[in-house]
């Protein structure tokens, strides 16, 4: 049940570490991506942390679904959380270099929000 979320969680953690290591090679430069407060630098930092944040949400989903032994009704929330985990960092990095991509944030935010709401509904209606 919801094994895809377990895989997504660990993949997100690994990607967060790898991307963070790459960014860490440059973050010491004060002018990197326009300076600490610049839009591009804020967006790549958000993209980096979103790998971890959404990995933990997917892990929490997997643990909850497994411990409650849900027999159905969790497939859509499961996939919506995975969509959020994939698209949030992508939107952050795209928006870092072209601000117009910020309008795509409705995809990961909608996925995670709707997935969380549907899962909560499923758990509470047991």
Tell me how far apart the alpha carbons of residues 117 and 77 are, in angstroms, rounded to a whole number.
8
Q: Are 45 and 103 in contact (CB under 8 A)?
A: no
CA dihedral 33, 40, 42, 26 (to 10 degrees): -30
Place of tokens 């159905």: 72
Nearest Cα to Cα of residue 44 among 31, 56, 33: 33
- What does the pLDDT read at residue 4? 96
Tell me how far apart the alpha carbons of residues 53 and 41 are, in angstroms, rounded to a whole number.
18
Residue by residue, pLDDT tens for the chain (126 residues) are 579 999 999 999 999 999 999 999 988 888 899 998 999 999 999 999 999 999 999 999 999 999 998 878 899 999 999 999 999 999 999 999 999 999 999 999 999 999 999 999 999 988
Interhelix angle 75-97/3-24, rounded to 10 degrees, is 20
Nearest Cα to Cα of residue 88 among 107, 101, 62: 107
């Amino acid at each position: 049940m919801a094994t895809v979320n377990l895989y997504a969680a660990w993949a997100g953690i690994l990607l967060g570490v790898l991307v963070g290591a790459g960014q860490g090679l440059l973050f010491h430069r004060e002018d990197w991506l326009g300076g600490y407060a610049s839009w591009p630098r804020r967006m790549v930092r958000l993209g980096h942390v979103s790998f971890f944040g959404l990995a933990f949400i997917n892990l929490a989903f997997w643990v909850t679904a497994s411990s409650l032994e849900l027999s159905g009704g969790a497939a859509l929330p499961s996939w919506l959380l995975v969509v959020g985990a994939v698209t949030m960092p992508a939107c952050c990095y795209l928006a870092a270099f072209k601000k117009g991509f910020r309008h795509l944030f409705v995809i990961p935010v909608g996925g995670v929000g709707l997935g969380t709401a549907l899962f909560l509904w499923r758990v509470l209606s047991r």
